[in-house]
Structure 1
Amino acid sequence: MKKLYPIEIITNSENTVYLPTDFKASTHLNKIVLGALSKDATIQQHKKTRNTVGITSDLFKNLLFPSSTSNVHLFADEETLYIGPLVGIFTSGFSTIKVRPIGERSILFSKLLSVQKTVGVIAFLFGEQHINWEAGTINGLFYEDGWKSAEVPFPNVVYDRIPNRRIENLHKIQGVKNRLQKEYSIPWYNPGFFNKLDIYERLLQDDSISDYLPETHALTNFTVIERMLSNFGNVYIKPKNGSLGKGIYQLLYDIKDGYYYTRFKDLEQGNRLMKFDHLEALINHLFENQNLSHYIVQQGIHLIRSEKKSVDFRVHTNKDKDGNWEMTAIAAKIAGAGSVTTHLNNGGTVKAIEELADTELQSDEMIHKLTKAALQLSKALENQMEGYIGEIGFDLGLDRKGRVWLFEANAKPGRSIFKHPSLRKFDLETRRKSLEYAVYLMDQSIKSLEDIYQ
C-alpha cells in the first residue's frame, strides 16, 4: 500500500526537497518531477523525524505546483523523485460563469475534485482550449472552497470524462487524445464509450463469463426476431450506442392469442403498450424510415420481482491504487408501471438491495452473486479492450432461478443512483476510487520508462 505524504513549503533554504524520514530511496536523488516538468534540485532527508515532503518555496513555484496541493505520493527511480500523480480530468462544455465553469456538471466535478486530498493526487479539470502546446502547460481548473484556475505542467495521467459520443468524435477532441498519448506517453483511462454489440462479441470470446451473456444479435431482419421470440417469449430491441434507456423496445409474443405486443416509451404519451396481428406490421410501425442496422436484438429474461415489479441492478466496479478491481457500489432498480426499463426517467425507482421486499432470493445471496459476476466481467472486459479501463457500470439481472445476466456495460456510468439516501455511502467510495487508479497508472508509467532506458 502506497503512503500519502503532506506537502510542507520551506522558506529558509532554496532549491531543495526534504524527504520524509520513513521514505527510503535506493539511489542518490538529484532531480524532482511534477507531471511533465522536471528540475534539478538538492534532495535530502529531514534531519529530524518528520513525515512530510518539504519543498522550498522557489522550487514549489518553479515546478508550477498549484497552491491547493496537500497530500501526495512519492516515487523514486534512478536519480529522479516523482511527486504526484498530477491528474488531468479531460472534458468539454466549459462556460464563462466563474461559479459554474462547467455548467450543470459543476457540482458533479466539484465533488469529484473534493476527494483528492484523501486520495493523495493533484487533480484538475481541463478542455482542449486550456492547453498551451508550446509551453507544455495547461490552464487547469481546481476546486477548493470555490473554483480557481492555475497553470500546471502536462499531467502524469488523464482521466477521460467527455460527456457523450458526439463530442468524443470531434476532430479536435480526438487530436488532443492522440497527441497527449502518442507524443507525451501520458496514460489515458476510460477512453471512449462502449458499443453494445461490440462488447457482447468481445466477451463471447471468454468462456469463463459466457454464461452471463444473453443471446444478442445485430438487427438485420425479421427472422432473427421471430426465432428469438419463439425461444424466449420476449426480446428487447436496443440502439447499439444508446444510453439512459432511450429508444428501447420490448417485444412479446402471446402464443395463446397469437398477437405480438410491444412496450416502449413515447416522448409525448409516456409508457405505451401496443398490439399487432403480425410481426412485420409491428416492426414497420416502430422503425419506419429508420436504419435497423443501428439496433441490436437481445434475449428477454424473466427477472426476479419485488412487489410484483421487475428488478435489475446497477453494479459499479473500480480499479484501486494497486490496479485491482473492486466492487464499489450496488443498487436495485425497480421498473415503473408499464415501463420497458428500470431507468429513473421511465418511472423507475432505486433502492438498496436490503430494502427489497417479497423477492425470490435473499439480499446476501443477491449481493454475493452480483459482486462475483461484476468482478469477473470487469477482468474479462479489460482483457478484451484496448487502453486503460478504471471504472465500469454494469446493468445486471437475476432471473428467478438465481442466474446472473449482463444487459449492458457502461464505460462512463451515470451517478443518479447515489441520490438515494442509503446509497450515498457508495458515492464517496466511487469518487475516491476513480482518482485512486491514477496512482497505479503513474507507478506503471515510471516503471515502463525504466524498462525503455535499461
Structure 2
Amino acid sequence: MTTLFRLSIFEHEQDMVYLPRGINTLFSHLSFGGNCLCCSFSNSKKDEISVSSSLATKLLLPQMEKVHLFFHEETLHIGPLVGIFSAGFTGSLLRPIGGRSLFFAKLLSHVKSTGGSAFLFGTHHINWENGTINGYFYTDKGWIQQLIPFPHVVYDRLPNRRVEQYETFKLVKERLQKEYLIPWFNPGFFNKWSIYQLLQQEQSVQTYLPETRYAPSFDEIRDMIHRHQTVFLKPVNGSLGKGIIQISYDSQENRYDCQYRLGTENMQRTFYQFDTLASHILSDLNLKDYLIQQGISLIRRHERKVDFRVHTNKNECGMWEMTAVAAKLSGRGSVTTHLKNGGIVQTLDELFASASKVKEIMAKLQTASLLISSVLENRMEELIGEIGFDFGIDDRGNVWLFEANSKPGRSIFSHPKLHHEDVRTQQLFLAYAKHLAEKSIQEPEVLYT
C-alpha cells in the first residue's frame, strides 16, 4: 500500500515525525533513499507528514511538496527518490548537461504533480564511501546541486551507444544494482537484429515482422530485391534514419533505383544491372554492420509515404499503456519519414477525415504496440519502462513493425496537438519509478528473481 501526502518540515532538535491522521504510528525508523534513521512517530490532525528539521537534515531531504509513503515492517519509507543517470555534464548550473538541459528540466518539472523527488547525476557525482550523490535538481529558480542519498530507482538516459560502452558507466550500473539492489530501468539501446530475433521466437507477434536478414551477402540482397521489389538496408545500430538505403526493382525495365541521404541531400541513382549497383553502392558498405528488410507498400497521403510513431510506457501499476501516436509523412525524395530528412508530423485526426478510420487505426496500433511491449519485456532480462515504435500500415490494412527504440526520440511532440501526450509520457516515467521503488522495498524478490 502507498499513499500520497504533502510533506512539511518543522523546526525541532529531536528526530520526530508526525504522520497524517488515520495512519498507525507503529514504526521505529524513517527511510529516504539509501538513508534510514531511528526516530519517534506521532499522529497529527493534518493530512500531511511532518518531519523535524533535525531529521530532515540527517536524511538529506531535498525540497519536496508531496511524497508517497511506503510501509514495510517497522520502517516508513518516503519517496520515491529517482536518479536519472546520464553523461556529458558541463559543470555549469546554467546548462549542466549542455543542449539536453532543457529536456531534463521539462522531465524533472513533473515531479511536483507525481510526488517524490528526482535528480540528474553522472559517474563523477557519486561518493561511494558516504553513499551520497551530489545531484542536479531543477527548481523554480533553475538548476541547483544538492547532496542526497543513493536513490530508490535509477532511470538510464545515457545519450548514445558509444558512451554506453565505456567501462566506467558499466561499472556504476553493475555496482548500484548488485551491491545496493537499486532497480535500474531502460538500460541499453536496442540492437535492431537482436530485437528481431527475440520477437521472431514469439508466434503471437510474427505477423508484424517484415522479412529481415543480418549481414546479407550480395546474393541475398539480389534475392530479396527480386522477391519483394523494394528492400531497405539499415545499419544494425543506426538511429534517426542515418545510413538507410532503399533499393527498388522494376522487373519490366530491369531497373534498380537506389535512394539514400548524403549529407543534407536526398540522393537517387538508377542502375540497369545488379552487379553495377553492387560495385557502386554496396561495395562501400560494411555489410556486417547492416541488415536488409523487406519493403512494405505503405499507405500514402499526397504522394508521401506514411508511417506511425507509437510510444508505450509503464504506468504506476507496472502495466503497459499506449501513450502517444502520431503519423509521420516522408519528405520529398526521402527514404525515411524523419523530420531532419524533410518529414512532417500529423495527428491521426489530421491524416484521416473519417473518425471511424482514426478509431480503426488507433485500435490496430494499440493492439500491436502493447503486445510487442509485453513480449519484449518478458524476453529481456532488463527492466523496461518505455518503448518507441515505428510502425507501418500497408494498402491492405496490415500493421508492420519497422523498429523499436528503448530511448525514443521526442521530435513528434513538437506538434502542438501532442502536448498532452508529451506531458503524459514524462509523468509516467516517474509513476513507473514509484512502482519500482515500492516493489524494491516491499517485494524485492519480484524484481531480483
TM-score normalised according to structure 1 size: 0.95
Question: 2:21 matched to which residue of 1?
Answer: 21
* Local SS of the residue matching 1:178: helix
**What does residue range 28-107 of structure 1 map to in structure 2 within 5 Å?**
28-46=26-44, 48=45, 50-66=46-62, 68-107=63-102
Are the equivalent residues in 2 in contact too, given 1:360–1:400 (CA < 8 A)? no
* Alignment deviations for residues 20-65 of structure 1 (CA, whole Å, 9 cap, x no partner): 124457xx2101111111100112322x2x2111111110110000
- Structure 1's 210 and 359: CA in aligned 2 closer, same or farther, altered over 3 A? farther
Over residues 360-405 of structure 1, what are the superposed CA-to-partner deviations in whole Å (9 max), with x where a residue is unaligned?
Answer: 9821111111111111110011011111000000001111111111
Deviation sequence 1:169-206 (CA, Å, 0-9, x none)? 01111111111111111100000000000000001111
Q: For 2:436 and 2:209, locate their aligned partners in 1 and report how far apart those are by CA, in whole Å.
A: 30
Q: Aligned partner of 1:256: which letter?
A: Q
CA gap of 1:342–1:52, structure 2 versus 1, over 3 A, is same
Report the counterpart of residue 167 of structure 1 in structure 2.
163
* Residue deviations 1:329-370 (CA, integer Å, cap 9, x gap): 110000011110000011100011110157998211111111
Name 1:130's counterpart in structure 2: 125
C-alpha contact (below 8 Å) 1:193/1:410 kept by paired residues? yes
The aligned counterpart of 2:234 is 238
Are the aligned partners of 1:19 and 1:53 in contact in 2 as well (CA < 8 Å)? yes
Report the CA distance between 1:451 and its aligned residue: 8.6
CA distance in 1, matches of 2:220, 2:351: 36
What's the counterpart of residue 264 of structure 1? 260
TM-score (ref. length: structure 2) = 0.96
Q: Check conservation: 2:349, 2:355, Cα contact below 8 A.
A: no
The residue identity in structure 1 corresponding to 2:195 is I
What amino acid is aligned across from residue 144 of structure 1 in structure 2?
T
What is the CA RMSD across the aligned residues, in angstroms? 1.8
Aligned position for 1:403: 398
Distance 1:318 1:193 in 2: 16
Paired AA for residue 80 in structure 1:
T
Aligned residues: 446
Partner of 2:145: 149
Look up the equivalent residue of 2:35 and give its one-letter code.
L
2:289 to 287, 291, 294: 294
| SS of alignment partner, residue 101 of structure 1 | coil
Q: Which amino acid aligns with 2:90?
A: S
Q: 1: distance between equivalents of 2:279 and 2:41?
A: 73
Q: CA deviation at 1:450?
A: 7.7
Match of 2:421 in 1: 426
Q: CA deviation at 1:209?
A: 1.1
**1:54-453 map, 5 Å:** 54-66=50-62, 68-145=63-140, 146-267=142-263, 270-357=265-352, 362-449=357-444
Q: Aligned residues: percent identity?
A: 49
State how far apart, in whole Å, the 2-side matches of 1:451 and 1:196 are.
29
1:287 deviates by 3.6
CA distance in 2, matches of 1:106, 1:206: 39
In the alignment, residue 55 of structure 2 is paired with which amino acid?
L
**Structure 1's 79 and 348: CA in aligned 2 closer, same or farther, altered over 3 A?**
same
CA distance in 1, matches of 2:413, 2:397: 26
CA contact (8 A) 1:16 1:55 kept: yes
* Counterpart contact for 2:90–2:96, Cα < 8 Å: yes
Please state whether the residue corresponding to 1:333 is helix, strand or coil: strand
The CA distance in 2 between the partners of 1:208 and 1:23, in whole Å, is 46
Q: CA deviation at 1:127?
A: 0.3
Q: C-alpha distance in 1, partners of 2:283/2:135?
A: 47
Q: Distance in 2 between matches of 1:175 and 1:79?
A: 33
Compare 353-362 and 112-121 and name the one that shifted more: 353-362
Indicate conservation of the 8 Å contact 1:305/1:360, yes or no.
no
Q: Deviations over 1:100-135 (max 9, x none)?
A: 111001110000000001111210000001000111
CA contact 2:352–2:358 (8 Å) conserved in 1: no
- Structure 1 residues 378 and 153: alpha-carbon distance in aligned structure 2, compared to 1, 3 A threshold: same
State how far apart, in whole Å, the 1-side matches of 2:147 and 2:412 are: 35
User: Which structure 2 residue ranges, 5 or more long, are not aligned?
Assistant: none
Q: Kindly indicate whether the alpha-carbon contact (under 8 Å) linking 1:263 and 1:274 is maintained by their aligned counterparts in 2.
A: yes
Asked if structure 1 preserves the Cα contact closer than 8 Å seen for 2:136 and 2:145, the reply is yes
Counterparts in 2 of 1:169 and 1:63: CA distance versus 1, 3 Å: same
CA distance in 1, matches of 2:444, 2:391: 39
2:12–2:54 Cα contact (<8 Å) kept: no
Q: Specify the SS of the correspondent of 1:112.
A: helix
- Give ranges in structure 1 of 5+ residues lacking alignment: none
